[in-house]
Amino acid sequence: MQSPTDIAKDLALGPSAGTYGILLLYGMTITQAYQYYTNYGSDRIPLKAFVGVILTLESLHLALACHYVYFYLIQHYGETEHLLRIVWSIFLSGRIGFVVAWLVNMFYVRRIYLLSSRNPWLSIFIAALATVRPAFGFVGSSFVSSYPEWAAFSKHAHSFFIAGLSVGLAGDFLIAFTVSYYLLKARDTSIPSTRNIVNLLLWYTINTTAILTFFAVFELVFLVVQPNTLAFFGFFQVQIQLYANCFLTTLNARKSLHRETPVVTTIKMAGLRGKNQAHITSTETGVQDDAFVNTQLEPENATFSAEKGHAV
């Protein structure tokens, strides 16, 4: 049987290692946010405000992470009784992480809504699936008020975290699959000069999903294999920071797409909804990311227009 000191070390390892990881990634987040506000000043105010909300939440997430590392490893270093208890900042940090993941997923749900010619049922289903993980996370974390020590808390909240993470994995995969499906349809019906644009969008979608899935799988494995430790929490922390990084990468990718855009191109996405067709048109000055398009739906077609590479 492990001694209290060994148990305390196991509990402290995951959060401290995760904090070092998000410290590195946070610098990338700040850089990406700066690039976004510098290059896309003409985006709509709600989108710029949304980026600000994500950046604020990630900043708070990092501040809380630094607090509980300070609490466990500096302020109460070697005090086993404190290491075995849940400090308020680690509890709040987890909840902020669930909110960040949910907000970013809702961003992708909106993208799917536009790509699917405003199919409400598909969007509602994916949004509901993406909401399950934070719902389980909030329910599981609520046990901290009744069980302030890690051992008791883990016994009661463990199943909620596993269920939420499993559904979250399925939701992330479904989002990536759906976006890729509609982009592939656009590529198959587009002219050769615009296929590079769709290929780049596919590349961003697949790679960002792969990164998030990698950490989610390790988080799930450690939840199952080491249920009495916080090893999984380090992967959770890094994954939340990656949600923000992938989101900002998607926004900033429009500059890369500009270089691939010919003078005038049109992508026809036929059969998105029955006989409807969607036309994505770009000008020589840039291309619009598929998530930020101004749609004007008519009975027989939908027109997606992009101008100057900025959101309209």
DSSP 8-28: HHHHHHHHHHHHHHHHHHHHH
Residue 182 is predicted with a pLDDT of 85
Q: Is the pLDDT of residue 282 over 60?
A: no
Q: What does the alpha-carbon distance between residue 97 and residue 106 come to, in Å, rounded to a whole number? A: 14
Residue 69 is predicted with a pLDDT of 87
Q: What is the pLDDT of residues 123-168, one digit of tens each?
A: 999 999 999 989 998 998 888 878 888 778 888 888 888 998 899 8
Q: Is the pLDDT of residue 246 over 60?
A: yes
Q: What is the dihedral of CA 109, 113, 119, 124, to 10 degrees?
A: 20
**245 vs 269: which has the higher pLDDT:** 245
Q: How many CB atoms lie within 10 A of CB 3?
A: 9
Mean pLDDT of the chain: 77
Q: Of 107, 289, 88, 297, which is closest to residue 204 (Cα–Cα)?
A: 289
Local structure of residue 142 (DSSP, 8 states)? G
Cβ-contact 234, 90 below 8 angstroms: no
Q: Is the pLDDT of residue 236 over 50?
A: yes
Share of the chain above pLDDT 70, in %: 76
Residue 256 is predicted with a pLDDT of 65
Task: Characterize 86-101 residue by residue with b for buried, 16 or more Cβ atoms within 10 angstroms of its Cβ, and e for exposed.
Answer: bbebbbbbbbbbbbbb
Band (307; pLDDT cuts 50, 70, 90): very low
Q: What is the CA radius of gyration of the chain?
A: 22
Domain map (residue ranges) of the chain: 4-258, 265-305
Q: What is the pLDDT of residues 100-110, one digit of tens each?
A: 999 999 999 99
Residue 200 is predicted with a pLDDT of 76
Residue 219 is predicted with a pLDDT of 87
Q: What is the pLDDT of residues 194-223, one digit of tens each?
A: 677 777 778 877 888 788 888 888 888 888
**35 vs 183: which has the higher pLDDT:** 35
CATH of domain 4-258: 1.20.1070
